[in-house]
Chains A and B, each alone.
Chain A
Amino acid sequence: MTRPGSYFCGSNDHGLSRRGFLGATAAGAATFAADTRLDGFKSQVLAEELKKQNKNVILLWLAGGASQFETFDPKPGRPTGGPFRAIPTSSTGVHISELMPKVAARMQHTAIIRSLYTKVTDHGGGATLMETGRRPAPGFSYPDIGAVVARELGRIDSQVPDYVSMYTSTEGRRKGTSGFLGARYSPMFLAENMVPENIRRLDAISDVDHHDRAALRDVLAKKFNQTHKSSTVASQTTAYQRVRGIMASEKLFDIEQEPEAMRQKYGPLQFGQQCLIARRLIEAGVPFVKVARAWWDSHGQNFETHRELCADLDQAMSALLDDLDERGLLKNTLVITLGEFGRTPNINASLGRDHFANAWSCSLSGCGIRGGVAYGKTDEDGHNVAEGQVQAGDLFATILSALGIDPESEYYLGSRPLPLADFGSKAVKEVLA
Chain B
Amino acid sequence: MPRSVALCCVLTVILSAPLRAAELQPVDQPIEQVIDYYVDAFIKADEVTTAPQANDATVLRRLTLDLAGRIPTSKETQDYVASESASKRVELVDRLLASPDFAFHHRNELEEILLPERRNDGEFRKYLLWAAEQNRRWDDMYRDMLTGNEEDEYQKAALQFVRTRIRDVDDLTNATSVAFFGVNVSCAKCHDHPLVEDWKQDHFYGLQSFLSRTYVTKKNVVLEKPFGEVKYTTREGVEKQAKFMFLTGANVQIASLELSGDDKKKLEEAIRKTQQDDNAPIPEQQGDSVRQKLVDVSLREGDNRFFAQNIANRIWQRMLGRGLVDPVDQIHSGNPASHPDLLQWLARDLVTHGYDLKRLIRGIAMSQTYSRTSEWTSAAETPSPEYFALATARPLNPRQYALSLLVASRNPSHWDQEAFQQADRWRQERENFENASNGWAGNFEAPTDGFQIAVDEALLFSNSDRIQNDLLRDSGDRLIGQIKAIEDDQTAISTAFLAINSRQPTDEESAAIREYLAARADKRPEALRQAIWALLTGPELRFNH
Tell me if A401 is interfacial: C-beta within 8 Å of chain B: no
Contact residues, B306-346 vs A (CB, 8 A): 326-327, 329-330, 332-340
- Among B182-190, B244-252, B347-355, B423-431, the one that faces the other chain is B182-190
Contact A228-B374, Cβ < 8 Å, known A5-B334, A184-B454, A242-B458: yes
Distance of A200 Cα from B330 Cα, bound (Å): 44
Shortest Cβ gap from B384 to chain A (Å): 5
Which residue on chain B has the smallest CB distance to residue A424? B3
Tell me if A180 is interfacial: C-beta within 8 Å of chain B: yes
Question: Chain B residues near A199 (CB, 8 Å)?
Answer: 459, 463
Shortest Cβ gap from A347 to chain B (Å): 29
Binary flags per residue of A22-44, CB closer than 8 Å to B gives 1, else 0 = 00000001111000000000000
Question: Chain B residues near A212 (CB, 8 Å)?
Answer: 516, 530
How many residue pairs at the A-B interface have CB separations less than 8 Å?
223
Instruction: Decide if B463 touches A198 in the complex (CB within 8 Å).
Output: yes
Instruction: Decide if B340 touches A232 in the complex (CB within 8 Å).
Output: no
Distance of A247 Cα from B461 Cα, bound (Å): 13
Tell me if A414 is interfacial: C-beta within 8 Å of chain B: yes
Which residue on chain B has the smallest CB distance to residue A236? B453
Question: Chain A residues near B339 (CB, 8 Å)?
Answer: 1
Instruction: Decide if A180 touches B539 in the complex (CB within 8 Å).
Output: no
Tell me if B191 is interfacial: C-beta within 8 Å of chain A: yes
Question: Chain A residues near B174 (CB, 8 Å)?
Answer: 138-139
Tell me if A94 is interfacial: C-beta within 8 Å of chain B: no
Instruction: Decide if A423 touches B449 in the complex (CB within 8 Å).
Output: no
Distance of A29 Cα from B174 Cα, bound (Å): 26
Instruction: Decide if A415 touches B452 in the complex (CB within 8 Å).
Output: no
Instruction: Decide if B188 touches A217 in the complex (CB within 8 Å).
Output: no
Tell me if B10 is interfacial: C-beta within 8 Å of chain A: yes
Instruction: Decide if B334 touches A1 in the complex (CB within 8 Å).
Output: no
**Total interface residues on A, using CB and 8 Å?**
75
Distance of A184 Cα from B386 Cα, bound (Å): 26
Partner of A414, one of B330, B377, B516: B330
Instruction: Decide if B188 touches A161 in the complex (CB within 8 Å).
Output: no
Contact A217-B335, Cβ < 8 Å, known A30-B449, A183-B445, A229-B376: no
Contact A135-B5, Cβ < 8 Å, known A199-B463, A214-B462, A242-B458: yes
Binary flags per residue of A383-418, CB closer than 8 Å to B gives 1, else 0 = 000000001010000000000000000000011101
Binary flags per residue of B491-518, CB closer than 8 Å to A gives 1, else 0 = 0000000000000001001001100100
Partner of A29, one of B334, B452, B526: B452
Which residue on chain A has the smallest CB distance to residue B444? A183
Shortest Cβ gap from A52 to chain B (Å): 22
A2, A233, A242: residue with the most chain B Cβ atoms closer than 10 Å: A233
Partner of A225, one of B10, B336, B384, B539: B539
Instruction: Decide if A2 touches B336 in the complex (CB within 8 Å).
Output: yes
Question: Chain B residues near A198 (CB, 8 Å)?
Answer: 456, 459-460, 462-464
Instruction: Decide if B330 touches A7 in the complex (CB within 8 Å).
Output: yes
Instruction: Decide if A1 touches B543 in the complex (CB within 8 Å).
Output: no
Contact residues, A199-229 vs B (CB, 8 A): 199-202, 204-205, 209-210, 212-214, 216-217, 219-221, 223-225, 227-229
B376, B445, B538, B542: residue with the most chain A Cβ atoms closer than 10 Å: B538
Shortest Cβ gap from B113 to chain A (Å): 13
Contact residues, B262-314 vs A (CB, 8 A): none
Contact A216-B531, Cβ < 8 Å, known A228-B543, A240-B462: yes
Instruction: Decide if A217 touches B186 in the complex (CB within 8 Å).
Output: no
Which residue on chain B has the smallest CB distance to residue A240? B458
Shortest Cβ gap from A413 to chain B (Å): 9
Tell me if B375 is interfacial: C-beta within 8 Å of chain A: yes
Shortest Cβ gap from A358 to chain B (Å): 13
Contact A246-B384, Cβ < 8 Å, known A31-B450, A183-B445, A220-B538: no
Instruction: Decide if A183 touches B453 in the complex (CB within 8 Å).
Output: yes
Question: Chain B residues near A242 (CB, 8 Å)?
Answer: 455, 458
B335, B384, B451, B540: residue with the most chain A Cβ atoms closer than 10 Å: B451
Instruction: Decide if A213 touches B530 in the complex (CB within 8 Å).
Output: yes
Contact A240-B537, Cβ < 8 Å, known A216-B512, A423-B188: yes
Shortest Cβ gap from B255 to chain A (Å): 30
Contact A209-B530, Cβ < 8 Å, known A219-B512, A224-B540: yes
Contact residues, A301-351 vs B (CB, 8 A): none
Question: Chain A residues near B146 (CB, 8 Å)?
Answer: none
Contact residues, B434-459 vs A (CB, 8 A): 445, 447-459
Instruction: Decide if B375 touches A217 in the complex (CB within 8 Å).
Output: no
Tell me if B171 is interfacial: C-beta within 8 Å of chain A: yes
Binary flags per residue of A228-241, CB closer than 8 Å to B gives 1, else 0 = 11111101111110
Instruction: Decide if A1 touches B41 in the complex (CB within 8 Å).
Output: yes
Shortest Cβ gap from B449 to chain A (Å): 4
Tell me if A45 is interfacial: C-beta within 8 Å of chain B: no
Contact residues, B232-256 vs A (CB, 8 A): none
Contact A415-B327, Cβ < 8 Å, known A182-B445, A202-B465, A233-B539: yes
Distance of A288 Cα from B534 Cα, bound (Å): 32
Instruction: Decide if A197 touches B459 in the complex (CB within 8 Å).
Output: yes
Instruction: Decide if B516 touches A239 in the complex (CB within 8 Å).
Output: no
Tell me if B412 is interfacial: C-beta within 8 Å of chain A: no
Tell me if B45 is interfacial: C-beta within 8 Å of chain A: yes
Instruction: Decide if B535 touches A140 in the complex (CB within 8 Å).
Output: no
Distance of A184 Cα from B543 Cα, bound (Å): 17
Instruction: Decide if A231 touches B170 in the complex (CB within 8 Å).
Output: no
Question: Chain A residues near B447 (CB, 8 Å)?
Answer: 232
Question: Chain B residues near A93 (CB, 8 Å)?
Answer: none
Question: Chain A residues near B10 (CB, 8 Å)?
Answer: 7-8, 416
B455, B456, B468, B543: residue with the most chain A Cβ atoms closer than 10 Å: B455
Question: Chain A residues near B20 (CB, 8 Å)?
Answer: none
Shortest Cβ gap from B166 to chain A (Å): 13
Which residue on chain B has the smallest CB distance to residue A204? B468
Contact A180-B188, Cβ < 8 Å, known A239-B458, A243-B458: no
Tell me if B97 is interfacial: C-beta within 8 Å of chain A: no
Question: Chain A residues near B463 (CB, 8 Å)?
Answer: 198-202, 243, 247
Distance of A31 Cα from B334 Cα, bound (Å): 18
Tell me if B54 is interfacial: C-beta within 8 Å of chain A: no
Shortest Cβ gap from A75 to chain B (Å): 25
Distance of A219 Cα from B515 Cα, bound (Å): 12
Distance of A209 Cα from B450 Cα, bound (Å): 33
Distance of A161 Cα from B533 Cα, bound (Å): 24
Tell me if A188 is interfacial: C-beta within 8 Å of chain B: yes
Which residue on chain B has the smallest CB distance to residue A186? B454
Contact residues, B395-430 vs A (CB, 8 A): 395
Tell me if B70 is interfacial: C-beta within 8 Å of chain A: no
B392, B452, B530: residue with the most chain A Cβ atoms closer than 10 Å: B452
Tell me if B93 is interfacial: C-beta within 8 Å of chain A: no
Shortest Cβ gap from B15 to chain A (Å): 13
Contact A423-B539, Cβ < 8 Å, known A183-B453, A199-B463, A246-B455: no
- Give me 20 A-to-B residue pairs in the complex whose CB atoms sit less than 8 angstroms apart, sorted by A's number: A3-B386, A4-B326, A5-B334, A7-B332, A31-B450, A137-B188, A139-B175, A139-B329, A184-B454, A204-B468, A205-B530, A212-B530, A216-B513, A228-B374, A228-B375, A229-B382, A232-B450, A239-B454, A240-B458, A243-B463
Interface residues of B (CB under 8 A from A): 3, 5, 7, 10, 41-42, 45, 168, 170-171, 173-175, 178, 184, 186-191, 193, 326-327, 329-330, 332-340, 374-377, 382, 384, 386, 392-393, 395, 445, 447-465, 468, 506, 509, 512-513, 516, 520, 526, 530-531, 533-535, 537-540, 542-543, 545
Interface residues of A (CB under 8 A from B): 1-10, 19, 29-32, 134-135, 137-140, 161, 180, 182-184, 186, 188, 197-202, 204-205, 209-210, 212-214, 216-217, 219-221, 223-225, 227-233, 235-240, 242-243, 246-247, 391, 393, 414-416, 418, 422-424
- 3 residue pairs, one from A and one from B, having the closest CB atoms: A30-B450, A183-B454, A184-B452
